[in-house]
Structure 1
Amino acid sequence: MTALFQELAQLWRLRALLRVLTRREVHARYQGSAAGVAWAYVQPLLTVAAYYLVFDIVFGMRLGDKAPTGRVGTYLIVGSLPWMAFCDAVGRGTSSLLDAGGLLQKNALPPALFPLRTVAASAVVYGPLLLLLVLAYAPLHHFALAVVAVLPLLLLMLLMAVLLAWLLAIMAAALRDVVQVVGFGLAIGIFLSPVLFPITLFPAAWRWVLWCNPMTPVVLGLQSLLLQGAWPPAAVWVALLAWIAVLAGALSLLVARSREQLVDWL
């Protein structure tokens, strides 16, 4: 883990530059549009509104007794919004080094700045939406004390997204096919997580497949907190920390081995 800690120490010294790059990244994504950054919120908000309108109001669909809530639209919103945030961060982060290749070849900047900048920009966009999600659901349980666990859960999700995006960005620099594979994986990953269906509906013998998705513990934790007002089970925290540990170990190894060749790959 030495290589990773060295990179993180260097990033901490350059935290002011990271803030500037993040701010520019957010503005650059929507530069030239009349609504500007507001477009970042339109698609997620319309999506969750459509879930609620179609499934809860129009069709009045209901889940089974073992589901964390009976309303389908209400259930979908809790998982889909963090999933969109995760996909935006990881998807953009994977190609971040490729997009910054010309800049890195001309300037002696730490390559890690660019995956972190991308994930931070996604966090700036989706952070307020996730806050609104918590504020919308917390009154359902009279602001139960368990809701405070949302903060560490989302921070761990952010850390996991940073590690994964950074790891995939280095892999994409070495092999461009990684960008396509990640895009496909994010597209089908929602079907291998409890975002669209309660985990109890998945065959018990195959539920381990869902835990291979790094977002499964996050989604289960949010469902427990926001739909039931209960503390997430220990399995959620253990799985999330295990994913972070595995990603950190793999990233440290990859950083150490790619340090000399990374800019040449770009």
Structure 2
Amino acid sequence: MARLATAIALSGCPSAIAAEAPKRVVSMNLCTDQLAMLLAGEGQLYSVSHLAKDETGSVLAKEAASFVTNHGQAEEIFLMKPDLILSGTYTTRATVDILKRLGFRVEEFQPESSFDDIRVNIRRMGALLGREARAEELVREMDATLASVPGRQAGAPTVALYYANQFTSGRGTLAGEVVNRAGLINLGEKLGLEGTQKLSLEQLVMAKPDLIVAHNAYAAPSLAYEAQVHPAFRAALSGKNLIDIPDKYWICGAPFTAEAVKLLSDAAGRAGNK
């Protein structure tokens, strides 16, 4: 922190309010990273978090390679001298508080739990970056993808979302919204679950879902995914179908979340035709 104090004394603090579209933007959160990459003008976005370059969690990992990496530390962000800092509401709180006290303009984004939330955050990001027209273009593209997916039909299959450590998504979650928009029934909602909750292997087997969506992000064995190699889990798949959709498509709410809807709908359609 000594270097930070020295830098403050030598450089002064940036204005808290930008008079025009920001020219040097730093994002510290995977979800704001990706929205900013989709929306920012040439040279406007300077740095993204290290998570943006992780292909297991970031749809835009290749694009992120062209930006400076940050690890969400106050000192490194300060020395980048941004005129706008983007973060999530749960992003390293100590760093956010320090940067705000230093006078930096920090804009925080709530996690999305619906496509309406995604539209709000796309438009807000567009306004912050002075890229409103681009934001509307992305919203139109997302809505066109959603419109291309058939709605729920009678007899729609029930889908169990099954993540690491036996977690699932219920009502009020972005993943649950994806399932609903894909025309399917979310087992989590069917069981009355709210938010992200644990779904034991016993509950999963007893519920007898038509389809199971599960993705193992690791090539090597992992305790987080031990339920997915359990004989009971394999038995639950007997005569059913396992759908593998990478988590990165619905970790963050963005235009590409509509692709998760299409991927799920298409996979369910193929499963039903077997």
Same fold (TM over 0.5): no
Task: Give the greater-gyration-radius structure (CA).
Answer: 2
Q: Does 1 or 2 have the higher relative contact order (CA < 8 Å, sep 6+)?
A: 1
Q: Which structure shows the bigger proportion of residues in strand conformation?
A: 2
Q: TM-score range by the shorter chain?
A: under 0.3
Normalised to the residue count of structure 1, the TM-score between the two structures is: 0.25
Q: Which structure shows the bigger proportion of residues in helix conformation?
A: 1
